Each structure stands twice: as structure tokens, then as C-alpha cells.
Amino acid sequence: MTTTDDAPLLSRLRLTGYAAAQLLLGIVALVVFVMSVTGAVLMVVWVGALLLVVSIPLTRVIADAHRRMAADVLGLEVPRPYRPVPQHAVHALTAVARDPMTWRDLAWCVWACTFGWVVALICVLELVAVVTWPLWWWTLTPKMRARSQIDLWFLATSRTEKLEQRVQVLTETRADAVDTAAAELRRLERDLHDGPQARLVALSMSLGLAEQQLADDPTAARPLIADARSTTTAAIGDLRSVVRGIHPPVLADRGLSGAVQALALDMALPVEVVSDLDGRPPAPVESALYFAVAECLANIGKHARATSARIVLSHDGERLRAHVSDDGVGGADPGRGTGMLGVRRRLATFDGTMSVSSPPGGPTDVVLEVPCDLSLPRTTPSSGPG
């Protein structure tokens, strides 16, 4: 058990341990900096690319370690600031070169293996020499905090950069939202043209023929009228199908939990639905998450060869989450299918995210998250007499 008197000592020993780690990592930072510079100079030949393939990931590993130490020293939460790296080698190299953090990491390496290294060395040496213990005790924390602040000046995104990234994200999501809306309009136009419109044209022809037959041969007109009634029923069914594609009535009536349960009942395999939602999200968010879950279930039915699936709906006070899992064969790649890309774009409109874990052999886990608040449950007015 740690006493109150021991806490300052343990805290300083922890900071000294960080300083010792920074000494060792500073030497590695010097090596990878030389490799990166050499690789950049030799990019005209294939040797330079090989050096960069090794040095840049290693630089990021070292920077991540210092970022975690600095965040702990300062009591901050510092997210990893790097942009996503594509899988294609050429695209990955281009993305890394365009990432400002790549160049800030290199600038940080110069600091880490020079002045930063000297600060860490002083912190360790003050503990080793008995005569400098008082100096170590009183000045260690300020020195390590100063070193951490400089580290984060290089390794964390600034407020301006965060705003620029936010603007970039909003620009991309707005463009995706416009493209998605245009695609939805084209789909609705196609569905109306191929379904209800075609049936209504057939209905009009049947009624026209029946009108001609009524005066001369009412008996012959009767089958045409029956055919028109059948066409009307089919057209109404097509219209209902189109409406369900816009905003399913079950979603409006029963909320997200009930609508997802209805989706689960339509599946050919058993799907367990667990929900602890005590309210309803905004209608656009509710609709986006519903169609995202529907796409996940459609993929399970088409590709997963699963025997069971599970859906968990939850809200942590800030984010609405849907966790869809199955025991299928795995191997799902969200970057290949247009359906999952559409889900990601739909959620991104609301600052939502989609993460997929699907190793070969399974299982597959898809986590859909959207930041939102829940309102009080909405009730559907009774349709019967009061």
C-alpha cells in the first residue's frame, strides 16, 4: 500500500524512468532521422524507398511512445494525429508524404536527439549523484513538464490544424451527403419508373379497354376491370415498398429498437437483438443507423454463411452505438463493397464512424457509432376511439 508520503517519491521515480526511456529512444530517433533523410535523398533509386518504408513507421512508433509519456506527465489526452494510410504501396507513400505530421515527426527527431536528450540526461544524472538529490527532487518535475510541452508542440496537432482538419472533414462529408442524396433521388426515380409508373400505365390501358367494351359487351369488360383492380393492388404494393425505402413506417412507429427487431425477424438465421435505449435519437440519425444495420444484416445473409448473429444497441450518454456480430466465415472488407462504403458515408454525415473486425474464419464484428442525444420515448397516438 502506498502512503501519502511515498506518492511524491514514486511520482518522481516514474518521471525519471520516462527520462531514462527518452535517453534510449533519443539514440534510436537519431538513427531513424538519418535513415529518413538518406531515404529521401535516394528516392531516385529503389534503395531510398526501402529506407523510408522502414524509417517512417519506426519514427511513428517512437513518436507514439513520447506522445504517451508527455500526455501522462501533463495529464492530458492526446489522440494519435496521423492520417489514414491506404493499403496500396504507392498511395500509402503519397499519403504519408502529404501528412504534415510526417514532417513534424522529423523536426521533433532533431529536438529529441539534441536538446531534449540533454534534458533527459540531466534528469537521470541528478538522481545518480547523491549530492544532486535535492536538485533532482525540486527541479525534476518542471524540467520534465517543459520537455513534455515541447514534445507535444511537435507531436500533437495545434488548434489551427484541428480546425483545418475539421473543415476538411466537413467538406468531404458534405460532398458525400450531396452525392448520397443525388443517388437516392435517382434510385427513387428508377423505382417509381420501373414499378408504380409502369403499373399505372397498364391500369390506364385496362380501364380504357374496359370503357370501350362496357357499351357493346359488358361481359367482356368484366375481366378487364378485374385485371385493373389487380394492377391497382400491385401498384399500391410497389408504392409501399418505395415508401419503406425512404423511411420505414415501422421505424416511425416503433423506434430504432423495434425496427431492428423487425429486421431480425425477417432473417433466415436466428438474430438476437439486445437494446437498452431509454429514448429515441433524432429522426435523421435514427434512420441512418437503421439502414446501416439493415445493410450489415443483408451482408450477413448474402456472404457470411453464419448460423447466428447478434445486434446490441446502446447509448453511453454521448454516442449511439450498434454492434452487429455474426459467427460466419469472416473476411469482410469494407473497402471493397459499395454497400459498406455507403454506410460509412451515411454515418459520416452525422460525424459517425464504422469499424469492422473480420479476420478470415470469423467472427465478424461491425461497430456503428453516431454522436447524439436521446430524447424521451415518443408514443404513437391510438387509432381507436377515445
> What DSSP designation does 212 have?
H
Q: pLDDT tens digit string along 339-367?
A: 677 777 778 778 888 888 888 888 888 99
Domain boundaries, the chain: 6-157, 167-246, 249-371
310 sits in which H/E element: strand 309-315
For residue 2, name the pLDDT band (cuts at 50, 70, 90): very low
Q: pLDDT tens digit string along 230-268?
A: 777 777 776 666 665 556 777 878 888 888 998 888 888
Tell me which of 34-43, 182-191, 192-201, 320-329 is least confident: 182-191
For residue 379, name the pLDDT band (cuts at 50, 70, 90): very low
Are 279 and 377 in contact, with CB atoms under 8 Å apart? yes
For residue 382, name the pLDDT band (cuts at 50, 70, 90): very low
For residue 309, name the pLDDT band (cuts at 50, 70, 90): very high
Cα 35 from Cα 29, distance rounded (Å): 10
CATH topology of domain 249-371: Heat Shock Protein 90 (3.30.565)
Average per-residue pLDDT in the chain?
Answer: 81
The overall longest dimension of the chain from CA atoms, in Å, is 122
Q: Is residue 166 scored above 90 in pLDDT? A: no
Residue 285: CB partners within 8 Å, gap ≥ 6?
Answer: 320, 350, 352, 370, 372
Of the candidates 177, 171, 119, the one whose C-alpha atom is nearest the C-alpha of residue 148 is 119
Cα 235 from Cα 200, distance rounded (Å): 7
Q: How far apart are the first and last CA of the chain?
A: 67
Region 287-291: what's the mean pLDDT? 86
